[in-house]
Amino acid sequence: MGNFWDYNVWSTVSVLAVLLLGLLAANALKKNIRFLRESLVPTSVLAGVLLLVISTIYEAISGTSLFETGLFGQNGTFQLEVVTYHCLALGFVATSFRPSTRKFDKKRGAEIFNTGVTTVSTYLIQAVLGMGITVLLALFVKDLYPASGLLLPYGYGQGSGQAMNYGSIYEADGFVGGKSFGLTIAALGFLCASIGGVIHLNILKKRGAVKFIPLEDEKAESLTGEDVQSPDEIPMNGSIDKLTVQMAFVFCTYFASYGVIYLLSSLLPGFRSVLYGFNFLVGVLIATLICIVYRFLKRKGVVKKQYLNGFLMNRISGFFFDIMVTAGIAAIRLDVVKRYWWIVLLLGVLGAVITYFYNRLVAKTLFKEYQEEQFLAMYGMLTGTASTGMILLRELDGEYKTPTADNLVYQNLPAIVFGFPLMLLATLAPKKPSLTLLLLFLFMVVMNIILFRRQIFCRRKDKSTENTDRE
């Protein structure tokens, strides 16, 4: 056993402390610099960029990466990647435990379903674009990994956690710098979400559709006792602190997901890397199953009190996602991706443009009653994360009077169901990139037919009826 004064004993604490210090520094910069204060760049993204710049300058001066020094146990970059990997799943698990008593009618159900299908359709458009670019460029650029473009939907659509997961899978297949490639795309996604969102908001402002108020200038959110906890919940600080109970649910569920993944990978060793890349999905499924059992036991009177608290689960998921984004950007190794910087930039810019216009079309066509709110939320989510989408939404709908916020929360189920084949195709891409591109294109066509089903089939029905009337 090592001594307590060894760097290895303190390295994990050092990494977490630096990440949190970066978040505090970024928050201070946003409050004191007008340009940052009026921007919609999330504080976690700014913190990650700040740490990345400091690390890059340190490496340029000393020749050693900051996170590879003794202070971080000489493996700080790896620890940042581990933090990103686990925080993605822990954040999703906490989100899945938020209690919900909402009931939806047929119309709301259709809107939520369409939002989920829009999410997957956007993933597929990003995948076809990214994969098409890199498969084509691989014919001319030496040693370019043909499947690298498939990291676009994972970096843009799903954020830094999944971008790193699949970058790691591709690294194991021979893509040198795959993790940094994916993380760099994810960082570009956050910037495109913020820049594109601000531009669109200013266009709406000129039209008189919105009064732009920087988030940092807003007053603190006022909460009532019912917002924090319902009357039938366990006390906030009884014999066991309520936050401890929430953390126990989250971590025990995640530990159970590890057991399931370990068992499946033992039975299917050829899919080990893929299964461990699905850690967040397994965690969400187990959390959903626990919630179903929990509600059943509560209805039967076996469980007397409400143990899950939505307010605290929101805070826990927010903490994990903030840490995930900051760590993911800080873990980027610019020296690894400098060879392909122009390809990353090309993917990033074209990915943002196609995501912008596609979601504008969907919002205008399917969400006419609140098209601007739906568009901004979806664009922010599908280039950054769900929290980025919520930041943009709050500029138009600060009190969440439209159903957009609920759409973002409840669309996860149809998105997971329809998005699962994309995850499987991502594992086929390194072996058969051209076939994967074809399958992605066909899948994209099918998903858009499902999304625009009423516009396609009702129009045909109307034309058929009109022809019959003429006869």
Q: What pLDDT score was predicted for residue 405?
A: 76
Question: What mean pLDDT is predicted for residues 157-172?
Answer: 82
Is residue 422 assigned to a domain? yes
Among the ranges given (359-363, 394-398, 465-469), the one the predictor scored with the smallest mean pLDDT: 465-469
* Separation of alpha carbons 322 and 330, rounded Å: 12
Whole-number percent of the chain with pLDDT over 90: 29
Highest average pLDDT, of 60-69, 214-223, 431-440, 449-458, comes from: 431-440
Q: What is the domain count for the chain?
A: 1
Four-point Cα dihedral 378, 384, 385, 391, nearest 10: -70
Q: Report d(CA 305, CA 307) in Å as an integer.
A: 6
Q: Is 312 a member of any domain?
A: yes
Least trusted range by pLDDT, from 118-122, 299-303, 357-361: 299-303
- Rounded to 5°, the CA angle 153-157-161 comes to 90
Q: Taking 80 as the threshold, does the pLDDT of residue 224 lie above it?
A: no
- Please report which confidence band the pLDDT of residue 215 belongs to, taking 50, 70 and 90 as the band edges: very low
Length of the chain: 471
Separation in Å, CA 195 to CA 50, 65, 198, 388, 395: 18, 30, 5, 12, 14
HSE, side-chain direction, 13 A CA sphere, residue 360: 9
68 lies in which domain range? Answer: 7-98+107-212+236-454
How far is residue 323's CA from residue 307's CA, in Å, rounded to a whole number?
A: 26
Token pair 């690894």 is at which residue?
336
Region 434-453: what's the mean pLDDT? 94
Q: Could you tell me if residue 144 is inside a domain?
A: yes
Q: Is residue 334 part of a domain?
A: yes
More confident residue, 213 or 379: 379
Q: How confident is the model at residue 216 (pLDDT cuts 50, 70, 90)?
A: very low
172: which 2 tokens? 């194991």
231 inside domain:
no
- Domain assignment of residue 40, yes or no: yes
Residue 467 has what pLDDT? 57
**Res 385 pLDDT > 90:** no
The pLDDT assigned to 361 comes to 95
| Residue 255 or residue 381, greater confidence | 255
Structural domain contains residue 11: yes
* All residues at 6 or more sequence positions from 28 whose CB lies less than 8 Å from its CB, including other chains: none
Mean pLDDT of 97-115: 75
Model pTM score: 0.76
Amino acid at 73: G
In a domain, 222, yes or no: no
